[in-house]
Structure 1
Amino acid sequence: MSLAPRAVIVHRRTEYEELLARHGTHGQAAFALSSRGRTIDEVLRRHDRVQQALREVAAAVPLTWRSSRVERADLDRFLFAPEDVVVVVGQDGLVANTAKYLHGQPVVGIDTEPGRNPGVLVRHRSSDAPALLRAASAGIPADELTMVEAVADDTQRLLALNEIYLGSPGHQTARYRLGSDGDTSPGEAQASSGVLVGTGTGATGWLRSLWLERGSRLRLPAPCDARLLWFVREAWPSPATGTTNVAGELARGQALRLTVESDRIVVFGDGMESDALELTWGQSVRLGIAETSLRLVT
């Protein structure tokens, strides 16, 4: 007997909730903002819109389903199940934060502030939730968004929807060797501000900024394209380090290999530094297209 679907509603603390956590009460938070010439009214209105969206989504879950809620800070400790339908309520970035913990579950993105969010990943309104939940459980086709993965030589693995960054934890110079996976050469020794490997979804953010800054002739991928672009940030030329291998493209089956020559390098995805891989001198990591993709319900 198969389990009934479970709706997992993902959200994050609002700015108002963060203010209460910092100042204790509404009055103290309002006073702190007023002393800086700001008002709490807009923050409270945005909080109310998020809460209303959460209530509407929760009410849309069919009575025969199970349901659960998870806050962004607890994603790395939450166990998603194969039968889950994941409903992300909030901003585009919250979908990216959630994607790395999933393995093919359908995702519905609910925009709580239409017109304020780009709506690239949170494409729907809370009023659409009943129809979207039915569609997701029926297995309708969804956009398969390409993801990037990093796999270390000690089997540590990291997934990301937008990009993976590798660099020094203190944003100092990172030292490593960079080459193609499977190449017998040791790769080029480099000293830089780090390496970024991004997807078509990430091509609207950090990856695009590097692409523009570099004046790259590489074609940016679309979210569903099985292609990645990578860039080395601020590579430094010296007698011991080179700058000839600083950008490229990866198709499915291709991978970039980085071997650490610093005391410590961190690898994190989609801006979540709190959930990073840590690599030390001599370790290597392989970066390429992940087998897993994000199934975004349209």
Structure 2
Amino acid sequence: MSLAPRVVLVHRRTEYEELIAHHGTRGQAEFFLARRGRSLAEAEQRHHLARGALAEVSAAVPLDWRQTRVERSDLDRFLFGPEDLVVVVGQDGLVANTAKYLAGQPVIGVDAEPGRNAGVLVRHRPTQAGPLLRAAVAPGVERRLELRTMVEAVADDTQRLLALNEIYLGQPGHQTARYRLAAPGGETESQASSGVLVGTGTGATGWCRSAWLQRSSRLELPSPTAPGLSWFVREAWPSPVTGTSRVEGLLGAEQQLSLTVESERLVAFGDGIEADALQLTWGQTVQVGPAAQRLHLLV
């Protein structure tokens, strides 16, 4: 007899909860915000919206199914099962934070604060949770899954990093990074820059788009489900030993960008989470390209 589906509800602490945890009491948090021209009432209202959305989704899980919850800070210690249904209740960014810990499980994105989020990845309302959960286990669910490309960085010492939006490679303090860059179809070039971004079609609306707009690039950024990536060198600096001839490009499904470190320390982190980074030192090489793993987003 097969086990009933397990629904994993992913959420994050609200600003209100973080304020209370930091200041100890509601009164102290209110006093702190008041001195900065803010009211605790706004954070408290948003807290109730988020917690109400989580409770509504939880109540929609069929009674004979299993369910559990995991907070964002515990994702790296949580063991997802192959048969799990993952429901992310929160912001678009929380879906990106969750994606790298999954291995093909269907993901339902629920917007906890409609109108405040872009709703690119959290497209659904809490009231839709019941029908969506049943659809996720119905025959033919594959036709309703949007497979979004992810980006992967693998270092020569087997360190590995996954991201849904983009991976940044550079100095931890975003100062000058020195490395040798090798892109498909071109010669290796030594560079000094503010770092390198390699992004997916999902990330083409964020950090990579900023770099793309800033330089009036003519590259056609990939779509979220396209297998390719785009890459951009930030503020490359010309000198007698460093070049600026290869500062942007596209990577196909089987192509990779290669960086060999020429600094004492560089890092690679994904989706803006600097605390979870690859640590790279002089002479190491890291390969960045499309990941085999994809986000399976129920639409």
Q: TM bucket by the smaller chain?
A: over 0.9
2:175 equivalent to 1:153: no
Aligned-partner SS, 1:293: strand
In the other structure, the counterpart of 2:105 is 105
Q: 1:254 to 1:144 in 2, by over 3 A?
A: same
Q: Distance in 1 between matches of 2:79 and 2:45?
A: 32
2:87 equivalent to 1:87: yes
Given that 1:3 and 1:83 are in contact with CA atoms closer than 8 Å, whether structure 2 keeps it comes out as no
In the other structure, the counterpart of 1:264 is 265
Code of the residue aligned with 1:224 in structure 2: it is: T
Q: Deviations over 1:232-282 (max 9, x none)?
A: 001111111111111000010011111111111111100111111111111
Farther-moved stretch of structure 1 (58-67 vs 104-113)? 58-67
Code of the residue aligned with 1:202 in structure 2: it is: G
Farther-moved stretch of structure 1 (35-44 vs 195-204)? 35-44
Q: Deviations over 1:118-166 (max 9, x none)?
A: 0000000011111111111225120001111111111111111100000
Tell me how far 1:4 sits from its aligned partner.
2.4
Q: Distance in 2 between matches of 1:240 and 1:194?
A: 17
TM-score computed with the length of structure 1 as normaliser: 0.96
Aligned-partner SS, 1:229: strand
Question: Among 155, 175, 179, which residue is 1:176 paired with?
Answer: 179
In the other structure, the counterpart of 1:229 is 230
Tell me how far 1:77 sits from its aligned partner.
1.2
In the other structure, the counterpart of 1:10 is 10
Tell me how far 1:225 sits from its aligned partner.
1.1
2:240 equivalent to 1:239: yes
Q: Distance in 1 between matches of 2:200 and 2:191?
A: 23
Q: Deviations over 1:14-57 (max 9, x none)?
A: 01001101111111111221222221111111000001011011
Q: Distance in 1 between matches of 2:19 and 2:164?
A: 29
2:41 equivalent to 1:41: yes
Q: Distance in 2 between matches of 1:137 and 1:238?
A: 58
Tell me how far 1:206 sits from its aligned partner.
0.7
Aligned-partner SS, 1:96: helix
Farther-moved stretch of structure 1 (110-119 vs 62-71)? 62-71
C-alpha RMSD of matched pairs (Å): 1.3
Question: Among 132, 139, 146, which residue is 1:143 paired with?
Answer: 146
Code of the residue aligned with 1:177 in structure 2: it is: R
Pairing 1:183-198 to 2, within 5 Å after superposition: 187-198=188-199
Aligned length: 296
Code of the residue aligned with 1:175 in structure 2: it is: R
Q: Distance in 1 between matches of 2:280 and 2:2?
A: 41
In the other structure, the counterpart of 1:294 is 295
In the other structure, the counterpart of 1:220 is 221
Code of the residue aligned with 2:215 in structure 1: it is: R
Aligned-partner SS, 2:73: helix
Tell me how far 1:182 sits from its aligned partner.
9.5
Farther-moved stretch of structure 1 (109-118 vs 33-42)? 33-42
Aligned-partner SS, 2:47: helix
Q: 1:67 to 1:226 in 2, by over 3 A?
A: same
Code of the residue aligned with 1:151 in structure 2: it is: V
2:120 equivalent to 1:117: no
TM-score computed with the length of structure 2 as normaliser: 0.96
Q: Distance in 2 between matches of 1:26 and 1:232?
A: 45
- Unpaired segments ≥5 residues, structure 1: none
Aligned-partner SS, 2:117: coil
Q: Distance in 2 between matches of 1:3 and 1:272?
A: 35
Q: Deviations over 1:172-231 (max 9, x none)?
A: 211110003698x6x211111000001111111111110000110000111111121000
Q: Distance in 1 between matches of 2:255 and 2:33?
A: 51
Aligned-partner SS, 1:289: strand
Percent sequence identity is: 70
Tell me how far 1:5 sits from its aligned partner.
1.7
Q: Distance in 2 between matches of 1:2 and 1:248?
A: 48
Tell me how far 1:66 sits from its aligned partner.
1.5
Q: Distance in 2 between matches of 1:167 and 1:268?
A: 9
Farther-moved stretch of structure 1 (104-113 vs 61-70)? 61-70
